[in-house]
Amino acid sequence: MRNLSVPSVRRPGWVSSRVLWARGAALGVGAAVLLLFPYVSEVLDLEYYQSLATRAFILALAAAGLNLVLGYGGLVSFGHATYYGLGAYTVAILGREGVRQAWLVWPAGVLVAAAAAFLVGAVCLRTRGLYFIMITLAFAQMVYYVVVSFKQYGGQDGLRAPRTDLGFPLGEQELYYLSVVVLAACLWGLWRLVHARFGRALRALRDNEARAVAVGFPAYPVQLLAFVLSGAITGLAGVLMAHHTQYVSPSMLSWQQSGHLMFMVILGGVGTFWGPVLGVAALVALEELFHAATVHWQLFVGLVLLAVVLAAPRGLAGLVEAKLR
Partner 1 sequence: MSLLRVEGLTKRFGGVVALWRCSLEVRPAEVHALIGPNGAGKTTLTNLVAGVFPADEGRIVFCGQDITTLPAHRRALLGMARTFQVTNLFPHDTVRGNLQLVVQARKGGAFGFWRPVEAEWELREEAERYAARVGLEGRLDVPAASLSHGERRQLEVGMALASEPRLLLLDEPTAGMSAEESRRMVDLLRGLRGEVGILLVEHDMDVVFQVADRITVLVDGRVLASGLPEEVRSNPEVHRAYLGESGSGGGGAAHAPGENGGEVLLRVEGLQAAYGTSQVLFGVDLEVREGQLVTLLGRNGMGKTTTVNTVMGLVPAKAGRVVFRGEEIQGKPPEQVAARGVALVPEGRQIFPNLTVRENLAAFQAHRNRSPDSWDPDRVADLFPRLKARWNQLGSQLSGGEQQMLAIGRALVTNPHLLILDEATEGLAPLVREEIWRSLQRLNQQGLTVLLIDKYVEQVSRLAHYHYILERGRVVWSGPSHALREDPSLWERYLSVRAGDEGADRRPGGGSSRGG
Q: Considering the rule CB under 8 A, would residue 129 count as an interface residue with partner 1? A: no
Q: Of 114 and 143, which CB lies nearer to partner 1 in the complex structure? A: 114
Only one of the segments 7-15, 44-52, 143-151, 315-323 lies at the binding site for partner 1 (rule: CB under 8 A); that segment is 7-15
Give the one residue of 5, 151, 152, 292 binding partner 1; rule: CB under 8 A: 5
How many angstroms separate the Cα of 62 from the Cα of each of 134, 141, 144, 267, 306? 21, 19, 18, 14, 22
Cβ count near 40 (within 10 Å): 12
Q: Of 214 and 295, which CB lies nearer to partner 1 in the complex structure? A: 214
Q: Phi-psi bin for 154: left (phi > 0), alpha (psi -120 to 50), beta?
A: left
Rounded to whole angstroms, how far apart are CA atoms 300 and 103?
A: 43
Q: How far is the CB of 73 from partner 1 (least distance, A)?
A: 12
Q: How far does CA 174 lie from the centroid of its chain?
A: 21
Rounded to whole angstroms, how far apart are CA atoms 289 and 158?
A: 28
Q: Considering the rule CB under 8 A, would residue 210 count as an interface residue with partner 1? A: yes
Q: How far is the CB of 148 from partner 1 (least distance, A)?
A: 37
Q: How far is the CB of 120 from partner 1 (least distance, A)?
A: 21
Q: How far is the CB of 229 from partner 1 (least distance, A)?
A: 9
Q: Considering the rule CB under 8 A, would residue 12 count as an interface residue with partner 1? A: yes
CB 81 within 8 A of CB 258: yes
Cα torsion 252, 253, 259, 262: sign: positive
Q: Considering the rule CB under 8 A, would residue 193 count as an interface residue with partner 1? A: yes
Assign 3-class secondary structure to 96-163. Answer: HCCCCEHHHHHHHHHHHHHHHHHHHHHHHCCCCHHHHHHHHHHHHHHHHHHHHHCHHHCHHHCEECCC
CB 124 within 8 A of CB 69: no
Only one of the segments 4-12, 137-145, 160-168, 278-286 lies at the binding site for partner 1 (rule: CB under 8 A); that segment is 4-12
How many residues interact with partner 1 (rule CB under 8 A)? Answer: 33
Only one of the segments 57-65, 68-76, 100-108, 210-218 lies at the binding site for partner 1 (rule: CB under 8 A); that segment is 210-218
Nearest Cα to Cα of residue 209 among 219, 197, 224: 219
What does DSSP assign to residue 164?
Answer: P
CB 161 within 8 A of CB 243: yes
Q: How far is the CB of 270 from partner 1 (least distance, A)?
A: 13
Only one of the segments 23-31, 88-96, 152-160, 190-198 lies at the binding site for partner 1 (rule: CB under 8 A); that segment is 190-198
Binding mask of the shown chain, residues 213 to 252, with x at each position contacting partner 1 by CB under 8 A: xxxxxxx-xx--x---------------------------
Binding residues for partner 1 (CB under 8 A): 1, 4-5, 8-9, 11-12, 192-193, 195-202, 204, 207-208, 210-219, 221-222, 225
